[in-house]
Structure 1
Amino acid sequence: MYMLCCDLEGVLVPEVWINVARWTGIDELKLTTRDIVDYNALMKRRLEILKQHGLTINDIQKVISLLELMPGALDFINWLHGRVQMVVVSDTFREFADPLLEKIGWPVLFCHHLTIDKDGNITDFNLRQTEAKKKVVEALQNLNFKVIAIGDSYNDITMLRQAEHGILYRPPQNVIDDNQDIKVVASYSQLKHLVSEILETNSL
């Protein structure tokens, strides 16, 4: 029996921080895990920038509320129903995710959370655990599930490698170049075809 672990940003919804960068005009906030491997270093820098510019959780949530799903994402999620159960495995934060989850039907989400002071300033980030994405896959495997994992960035690679079937969805070229053994798809139609192939092959 299979479970499907899917990243959120870059696969189902646009990258939150890129859109915050566009809204604020702060170019450095465009950097994501597609560019920087060290997630802790990336988040520490982001919080420094927010503090420097006086941006609060309300400012971030305002941007997130305007985001729409990737074209075709909802169709892909609906297509999965009845074929394989999906859980969302993300390095986002619960405080960011709720408006996005509502748009995709409130799937199970494994992510992190923020520390926010009484004035709405984001003072720290709290990782649920180290290598959190990989450990979700390991936990499902310990329950005798096989796992299909989908991601797009450096922070997804350990999850993709742990899964029985890892798939990169529209990753940047640098991620492809550094992980040439992982299958790559460029559209939801290709993703459906590959997931179908995996499920059909392993149901025989």
Structure 2
Amino acid sequence: MTESALVQRVIALDMEGVLTPEIWIAVAQRTGIDELRRTTRDEPDYDALMRYRIDVLNTHGVSLKQIREVIAELPLLEGAREFLDELRRRWVVVLLSDTFEQFDDHFLELMGYPHLLCHRLDVAEGRLAGWRRRVDDAKRCAVEAYRALNYHVTAIGDSYNDLTMLRAADAASLFRCPEAVAAANPDLPSVSTYRELLRWIDSVQVPATR
């Protein structure tokens, strides 16, 4: 007879829009390039969105160095570090993000170096030349891998590109998402403050074994 395995809980968080500002919005504001205001809240096809962004950046001559300079001035969202610290005090936490290794060092320092899984940019002569995903639908794959290891996964996201991750999790909530995303997914809870989010996380029933 197979014994039941003890279940450990993992909290999986998107990064941009949940803990940090949207990087591309900040770059758009700094450079005055309005085309860069288009984000995953507007475009569900992430590959199409990134190819569009790279074309826009190269058309306007924006370098990786310039993008990193913008990121280096961004704070975390108000209350994000305290929220993250409370989660880490109680559970295992992983950030599942469609950001890039070349963008993340500033925010990782501000957040106390959490475990972040993300993508990588191809850079040529200081300009963005392309991007490399880990695997297709990496956020969903990460959630499914944790579940296969018998973790109970609670996932939080804010955009179209988070939906497959949320659907793969044991429990999921939207956080400060656009009205269109919430309206299209009425079965998912949707909250707007860290206090509400922590209260919802606490309310999730996690089995001791399975």
With the shorter chain as reference, the TM-score category is: over 0.9
Q: Residue 163 in 1 paired to residue 169 in 2? A: yes
Q: Which residue of 1 aligns with 2:202?
A: 196
Moved over 6 A (4+): none
Q: 2:101 aligns with which of 72, 85, 94?
A: 94
1:202: Cα distance to partner?
A: 2.5
Q: Which residue of the partner structure matches residue 50 of structure 1?
A: 57
Partner amino acid, structure 2, of 1:76: F
**Normalization by structure 2: what TM-score?**
0.94
User: Superposition RMSD on alpha carbons, in Å?
Assistant: 1.0
Structure 2 unaligned segments of length 5 or more: list them.
Answer: 1-7
Superposed displacement of residue 203, structure 1:
5.8
State yes or no: 1:132 paired with 2:151. Answer: no
Matched-pair contact (CA < 8 Å) for 2:152–2:206: no
**Structure with bigger RCO (C-alpha 8 Å, 6+ apart):** 2
Match of 1:22 among 29, 33, 52: 29
Is there any run of 5+ residues in structure 1 with no aligned partner, and where? none
Render the CA deviation track for 1:153-185: whole Å, top value 9, x for unaligned.
000000001001111001010111111111111
| 1:39 CA displacement | 0.6
Superposed displacement of residue 81, structure 1 = 2.5
Residues 95-129 of structure 1: per-residue CA shift (max 9 Å, x gap):
01111111001111110000111x20111111111
* CA displacement 1:53-78 (0-9 Å, x = unmatched): 11110010000000000001011011
The count of aligned residue pairs is: 201
Amino acid at match of 1:193: R
CA distance in 1, matches of 2:126, 2:85: 36
